[in-house]
Amino acid sequence: MANYETHEHDVIVVGAGGAGLRAAIEVSAQGLSVGLVCKSLLGKAHTVMAEGGIAAALANVDPQDGWQTHFRDTMRGGKMLNNWRMAQLHAQEAPDRVRELERWGAVFDRTKDGRILQRAFGGHKWKRLCHVGDRTGLEMIRTLQDQGVHQGITVYMECTISKLLKDGDKISGAFGYFREDGRYVLFKTKAVVLATGGVGKIYSVTSNSWEYTSDGQGLAYEAGADLIDMEFVQFHPTGMVWPPGVRGLLVTEGVRGEGGILRNSKGERFMFKYLPEATKNDYAATEEEAKEWVEATIHGKKSEARRPPELSTRDNVARAIYIENKEGRGSPHGGVFLDISYQDSERVKKKLPSMYHQFKELADVDITEGPMEVGPTCHYIMGGIRVEADSAQTRVPGLFAAGECAGGMHGSNRLGGNSLSDLVVFGRRAGLGASTYAKSVSGQPSINDSDINLAIEELEAPFNREGKNPYDVAKHMNSIMDAYVGIFREQKDMETGVAKLEELKKDVANVAVKGGKAYNPGWHLCRDLKNMMVAAEAIARSALSRPESRGAHSRLDFPDTDNGKWSTVNTSVYKDGDEMKLEHTPLPVMPDELKELFEEKEKAHA
């Protein structure tokens, strides 16, 4: 049997993005020994991609703001499917976490009077996003990284956890390998915090990095935790689909705000057709009127013209692009054309500098010269591991989760800016929860040798069999998810999708790879595929089980939101033998004083 090295900590944190780092800092501050395990180098986590900012009701710019309003916005954004307690804790604690980041060295943009500047963002009633230009995530990662390093956290870089170990029903360790040379490692621990991020890599077009392979969701699922709300996957309507160098990268809504026009392969400006009846009168009826609005906006003039149809809501734009493609009018690479090049190029460069430079540098696409090819790109998953709000503990004793891999906080749709605040609020809580738990455990729980042997066998298997290339299998999974469980869903499609995924499981269980164990990405993908499979299946089954449209879950066959049963339950999946079991569990009930926040609001509107 292969050798492995052993490390012992009170708490192991898996994942070193915003949530993982914050959790590790908290554990260390509680005086416990913590090991931070990350799949990449420290400081490279996907958190660095977050641009907009971190939402916190500091009320620096809009003094009317307060946690209640932030809470209400978050719940409304999530179409009331959020875990109310998480949303409440999040809104209440986010300002403290932002101030804490500043004390640790984060350098936020400032207001004229020297306070932390906040910007407006979709779904937030007041200006609420603290930011650093368009690199807020990087600032946060670097701040937490340095704080953690100077606090003496032990970091295990480029280390992947493949199995959580239990002593009875309690967490007792984590097993994995180092990418560098493929050597195995056992972490003996009393508690594990999962903070591994999202699942974007199960779709072919995603703004997510290779790391987003549902690791935490997969590990927790295998360990007996349940995943909730997995049907809610957020797609951004305009990601680049071509050229490949920038595939998946987001094209900000600002491009449409500045007058960007969407056209199909026939050159038709199709958005006019897709305006919902209810809001149709808010948008221009003709190209001339839309043009007038753009002209007026550019020259800062007043005009009676209404907004162009491209400025419809995200889900609506995404739906339109989807249908155009489904009916064969898409662009050559499965998107549509977004054109801002008809405008004066100097103006475009001035108004959208980062867009212009990013695409010019990364792919030699000059957005002032010709149209872009855009389509929906997988961006974020609201669902994830079910946790208890205050402590972030899953239903497995000693297992905690925070950040994107945890579910509940965002309900059926996440507001921009709420993810960074989610990371630090619940990262800290998970760290605290894990510390409290670890302190209550006497002695190091025991490790079962046969578990380790199984874990090693599983990792070695791809070298010892004939099977498919893991990259091909991943691609196949992407195509299934794109085609049958994508942004718009129908019963028939999803049933096909579930069946195809069921078949694909065999391929996943039999992927094979050549070469050695040292830094072999093909080998790594073999194990990642298993986690991706959990997410893919969970999304497909959960989506199939919810016969309504809500937030990011859009059913073509059930276009309306149901105010009855489906507004009161979460979808939950968990492992039962070798099967994925699905249940609908009641939402936690919001206390009356919080319910009043919504009633008051409605009274005010009436």
Partner 1 sequence: MRKATLKVFRGDKNGGDYTKYEVPVEEGMVVLDAIHYIQAKDAPDLAVRWNCKAAKCGSCSAEVNGKPSLMCKTRMDRFEDGEEIQVQPVKTFPIIKDLVTDVSWNYEVNKKIKGFSPPQDDNEWIIYQEDIDRVQEFRKCIECFLCQDVCHVLRDHDRKDAFMGPRFLVRTAGLEMHPKDTANRMKYLKDEGHIGFCNITKCCSEVCPEDIHITDNAIIPLKERVVDEFYDPVAKIFKSIFGGKK
Contact residues: partner 1, CB under 8 A: 40-46, 48-49, 99, 102-105, 107, 109-110, 113-115, 132-133, 135, 138-139, 142, 146-147, 149-150, 155, 157, 180-181, 209-211, 242-246, 249, 358, 361-365, 469-472, 475, 513-516, 518-523, 525
- Per this entry, what is the length of the chain? 606
Q: 367, 354 in Cβ contact below 8 A? A: no
Provide the minimum distance between the beta carbon of 127 and partner 1 in the complex, in angstroms, as a whole number. Answer: 16
Instruction: Give Cβ neighbours of residue 53 (< 8 Å, ≥ 6 apart).
Output: 118, 119, 121, 129, 130, 131, 136, 417, 420
Which helix or strand (DSSP H or E) is residue 195 part of? none
CA separation for the pair 394, 574 (Å, rounded): 12
Residue 157 vs 461, nearer CB to partner 1: 157
* Least Å from the CB of residue 497 to partner 1: 23
- Annotated active-site residue in 9, 97, 236, 527: 236
CA 337 to chain centre: 26
Cα–Cα distance, 383 to 400 (Å, whole number): 15
Which listed residue (72, 124, 256, 489) is catalytic?
A: 256
Q: Is 46 a catalytic residue?
A: no
Torsion of CA 20, 22, 24, 26, to 10 degrees: -150
> In this structure, what token pair is assigned to residue 65?
């703001």
Specify the residue, 211 or 537, whose C-beta has the smaller distance to partner 1: 211
- Shortest CB 96 distance to partner 1, Å: 12
CB of 155 to partner 1, least distance (A): 8
Phi and psi torsions of 351, nearest 5°: -80, -30
Give 135 or 291: the residue with its C-beta nearer to partner 1.
Answer: 135
In angstroms, give the least distance from the CB of 100 to partner 1: 12
C-beta of 66 vs 521, nearer to partner 1: 521
Tokens of 462: 């791809």
Nearer to partner 1, 8 or 51 (CB): 51
Helix-helix angle 136-151:18-29, to 10 degrees: 30
Q: Rounded CA gap, 25 and 351, in Å? A: 39
Q: For the stretch 61-100, what's the b/e string if a residue is b when 16 or more beta carbons lie within 10 angstroms of its beta carbon?
A: bbeebbbbbbbbbbbbbbbbbbbbbbbbbbbbbbbebbeb
Do residues 137 and 105 make contact, with C-beta atoms less than 8 angstroms apart?
Answer: no
**Residue 119 or residue 306: which is nearer to partner 1 going by CB?**
119
CB of 409 to partner 1, least distance (A): 24
Nearer to partner 1, 132 or 540 (CB): 132
Among the listed residues 213, 217, 157, the one whose alpha carbon sits nearest the alpha carbon of residue 527 = 213
In whole angstroms, the minimum distance from the beta carbon of 63 to partner 1 comes to 14
Question: Is 124 an annotated catalytic residue?
Answer: no
H/E element holding 273?
A: none
Cβ atoms of 23 and 402 within 8 Å: the answer is: yes
> Which residues are identified as catalytic?
236, 256
